[in-house]
């Protein structure tokens, strides 16, 4: 039967009308009917960004200036947020990363479009792998010019989506507040990490300036010309429609996964029966909301020996009888229970192969993929139990792995887990002979290290002796930043952070070049602390220009450079295996003079200065307290201390 012409006509009209309504919605025509565009307002989108940041407690924005983002920087400064400009965009992100780790808030970096953003990629990836909550703000070409060959216009979103938990491109001024609030909440929720928000330049500048760029230069001719003129005018009006209506700048809730009561009880039973338990702690234990001092007290009450890694270094102070620094592999083979608190079975634990197959293992991690890293190779789950966290807002997987090894995994926050475990084990104390035996092994190994530090190297100073000398004079409030390979690897065995959140290293990505940015962020967060950067001479090259930043922003730090004129961590394996030192050699460069050129102070320390080493270090500390950044260029020789360490 033929369709009724009237019905077909009605259907066609409906489709057309529906299409027109959808087009009106997409073009913002409907929104403009309900929300005013204030064409005379001098306000701009940068002010909205600044207001959200201030409401979230952001104190610093790190940047390398560019015209795309100038309104944000100016507005932040007016609201009392300190703008700290660096000499490289990567340094800005590294500094924001350090602020996030030390302050418990989101670190913020703002860079210009195109190459400004591509310069941050390594630093953003480092923050992702280190699980640092960080907001990267990027400029972008105007909304109508993207993909049309505008200056510094690239597909930035595709670049950062694999690196960030959340990516957004603001399309209208009214979107700024909700988008930035959402980004800041996501950065801190679950497993923390970086987020990226792109701001096209026309969303940041005031209406009257943007209008000049959109304005048609001459009266439009013909239908096509009039349609284009209308489209441009409508786009401009929609860009600013509702921009200055009252907004709520307050933070959104941050969602954190917690272990269930059943999971905690199961772990209490396991620990209470253990005779030789060991705790391996990673950076996650320092994350909010649990204060690090509370975690420290909980660990003291349990009396379980601990190995500390990443940001957890220093958690137990300088000389705790529970902090075991040496012979970890041997301890793990002997332990009957291992608690992995934010520690991952990656290359740092030989992918899990260092764990004894007869050992009971409790693994706690916010990230499900990290929680079960390499379990397909070394852990064989047979039972999976689904559970919920205490607030019933996050599901978390509780797996009991019943193979040769008994493993309990908890998808949750490691810091709060340790507190609840300690409370549930009130009255429990690890048998004292166990930590005492491990500590005795520590004493024996560290005496051997000290003896090795007393040996004379063929040329220059013994690096171990230099590190021991610095460690002995570090004040209690000092912060150590680690940036390098061989020299820094030695420092990790010798230098002792004085307390929680007093050690900063790149994390699992092993990134070189973090030193300048990490030290900058640390000094701004803790202005009264003595901040030391432990540099290899290779890694120093990435951020030595930040001595200019230290000088301009009055953030004095001390850089200790182990200068052996070599990429030694690579050379140590390359030469015996492949028979060549190609590309590993550097020069005994006068880095102290480079620092002086950027406004700092420098000291060259050679073998003939060995007897005065302590005095020179004390002088550097005094100069730093007086407001000058100082670089100690220490010429060091070769030792076999780190033979066998990995570089790949």
| pLDDT tens profile 283-304 | 999 999 999 999 999 999 999 9
What integer is the mean pLDDT of 456-474?
96
Q: In the predicted model, what is the mean pLDDT of the chain?
A: 90
In the 3-class helix/strand/coil scheme, how is 581-618 assigned residue by residue? CCCCECCCCCHHHHHHHCCCEEEEECHHHHHHHHHHHH
pLDDT of 26: 78
pLDDT of 374: 81
Q: Is the pLDDT of residue 73 over 80?
A: yes
In the 3-class helix/strand/coil scheme, how is 213-273 assigned residue by residue? HHCCCCCCCHHHHHHHHHHHHHHHHHHHCCCCCCCCCCCCCCCCCCCCHHHHHHHHHHHHH
What integer is the mean pLDDT of 349-373?
86
| pLDDT tens profile 77-94 | 999 999 999 999 999 999
What integer is the mean pLDDT of 474-500?
95
What integer is the mean pLDDT of 309-313?
93
What integer is the mean pLDDT of 248-276?
93
Q: Is the pLDDT of residue 468 over 50?
A: yes
What integer is the mean pLDDT of 14-23?
71
Closest CA to 500 of 478, 485, 518: 478
Cα–Cα distance between 63 and 71 in angstroms, integer? 13
Q: Is the pLDDT of residue 445 over 60?
A: yes
Cα–Cα distance between 136 and 632 in angstroms, integer? 33
Q: Is the pLDDT of residue 397 over 60?
A: no
pLDDT of 10: 63
pLDDT of 405: 47
Q: Is the pLDDT of residue 379 over 50?
A: no
Q: What percent of the chain has pLDDT over 90?
A: 77
Cα–Cα distance between 583 and 605 in angstroms, integer? 26
What integer is the mean pLDDT of 584-595?
97
Closest CA to 192 of 277, 113, 275, 256: 256
Q: Is the model more confident about 256 or about 12?
A: 256
Residues 6+ apart with CB under 8 A from 59: 81, 82, 99, 103, 105, 524
pLDDT of 6: 63
| pLDDT tens profile 102-138 | 999 999 999 999 999 999 999 999 999 999 999 999 9
Poorest-pLDDT segment among 99-113, 224-238, 349-363: 349-363
With cut-offs at 50, 70 and 90, classify the pLDDT of residue 5: low
Cα–Cα distance between 598 and 415 in angstroms, integer? 41
Beta strands 406-411 and 395-402, pairing class: antiparallel
Q: Are 598 and 547 in contact (CB under 8 A)?
A: yes
With cut-offs at 50, 70 and 90, classify the pLDDT of residue 240: very high
What integer is the mean pLDDT of 300-309?
96
Residue 317: other Cβ atoms inside 10 A: 17
H or E segment and range at residue 32:
helix 29-34
């Amino acid at each position: 039967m033929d369709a009724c012409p009237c019905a077909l006509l009605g259907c066609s009209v409906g489709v057309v009308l529906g299409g027109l309504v959808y087009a009106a919605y997409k073009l913002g025509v409907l929104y403009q009917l309900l929300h005013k565009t204030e064409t005379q307002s001098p306000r701009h989108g940068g002010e909205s960004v600044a207001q959200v940041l201030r409401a979230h407690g952001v104190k610093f924005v790190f940047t390398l200036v560019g015209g795309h983002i100038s309104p944000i920087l100016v507005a932040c400064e007016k609201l009392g947020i300190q703008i700290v400009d660096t000499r490289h965009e990567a340094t800005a992100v590294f500094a924001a990363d350090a602020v996030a780790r030390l302050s418990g808030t989101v670190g913020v970096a703002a860079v210009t479009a195109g190459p400004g953003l591509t310069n941050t990629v390594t630093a953003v990836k480092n923050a992702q792998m280190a699980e640092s909550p960080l907001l990267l703000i990027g400029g972008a070409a105007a909304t109508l010019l993207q993909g049309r060959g505008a200056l510094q216009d690239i597909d930035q979103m595709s670049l950062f989506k694999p690196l960030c938990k959340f990516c957004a491109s603001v399309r209208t001024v009214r979107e700024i507040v909700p988008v930035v609030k959402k980004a800041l909440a996501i950065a801190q929720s679950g497993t923390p990490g970086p987020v990226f928000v792109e701001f096209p330049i026309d969303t940041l500048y005031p209406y009257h300036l943007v209008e000049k760029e959109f304005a048609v230069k001459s009266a439009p001719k013909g239908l096509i010309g009039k349609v284009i003129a209308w489209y441009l005018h409508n786009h401009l009006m929609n860009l600013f429609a509702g921009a200055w209506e009252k907004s709520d700048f307050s933070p959104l809730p941050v969602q954190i996964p917690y272990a269930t009561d059943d999971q905690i009880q199961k772990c209490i039973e396991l620990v209470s029966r253990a005779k030789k338990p060991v705790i391996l702690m990673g950076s996650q234990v320092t994350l909010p909301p649990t204060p690090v001092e509370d975690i420290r007290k909980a660990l003291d009450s349990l009396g379980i020996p601990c190995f500390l890694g990443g940001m957890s270094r220093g958690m137990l102070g300088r000389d705790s009888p529970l902090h075991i620094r040496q012979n970890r592999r041997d301890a793990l083979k002997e332990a009957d229970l291992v608690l992995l608190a934010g520690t991952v079975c990656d290359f740092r634990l030989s992918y899990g192969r260092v764990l004894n197959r007869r050992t009971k293992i409790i693994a706690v991690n916010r990230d499900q993929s990290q929680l079960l890293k390499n379990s397909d190779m070394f852990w064989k789950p047979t039972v999976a139990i689904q559970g919920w966290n205490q607030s019933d807002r996050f599901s978390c997987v509780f797996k009991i792995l019943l193979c040769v090894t008994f493993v309990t995994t908890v998808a949750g926050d490691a810091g709060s887990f340790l507190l609840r475990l300690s409370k549930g084990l009130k009255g429990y104390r690890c048998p004292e002979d166990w930590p005492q035996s491990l500590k005795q092994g520590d004493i024996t190994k560290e005496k051997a290290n000290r003896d090795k530090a007393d040996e004379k190297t063929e040329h220059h100073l013994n690096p171990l002796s230099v590190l021991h000398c610095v460690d002995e004079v570090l004040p209690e409030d000092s912060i150590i930043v680690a940036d390098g390979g061989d020299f820094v690897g030695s420092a990790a065995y010798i230098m002792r952070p004085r307390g929680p959140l007093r050690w900063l290293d790149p994390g699992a990505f092993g990134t070189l070049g973090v030193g300048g940015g990490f030290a900058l962020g640390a000094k701004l967060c803790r202005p009264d602390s003595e901040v030391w950067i432990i540099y290899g001479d290779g890694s120093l090259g990435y951020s030595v220009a930040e001595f200019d930043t230290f000088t301009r922003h009055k953030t004095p730090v001390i850089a200790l450079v182990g200068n052996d004129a070599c990429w030694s961590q690579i050379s140590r394996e390359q030469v015996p295996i492949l028979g060549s030192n190609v590309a590993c050699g550097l020069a005994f460069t006068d880095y102290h003079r480079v620092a002086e050129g950027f406004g700092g102070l420098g000291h060259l320390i050679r073998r003939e200065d060995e007897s005065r080493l302590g005095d020179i270090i004390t002088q550097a500390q005094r100069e730093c307290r007086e407001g000058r950044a100082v670089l100690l260029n220490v010429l060091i020789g070769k030792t076999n201390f780190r033979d066998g360490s990995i570089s790949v």
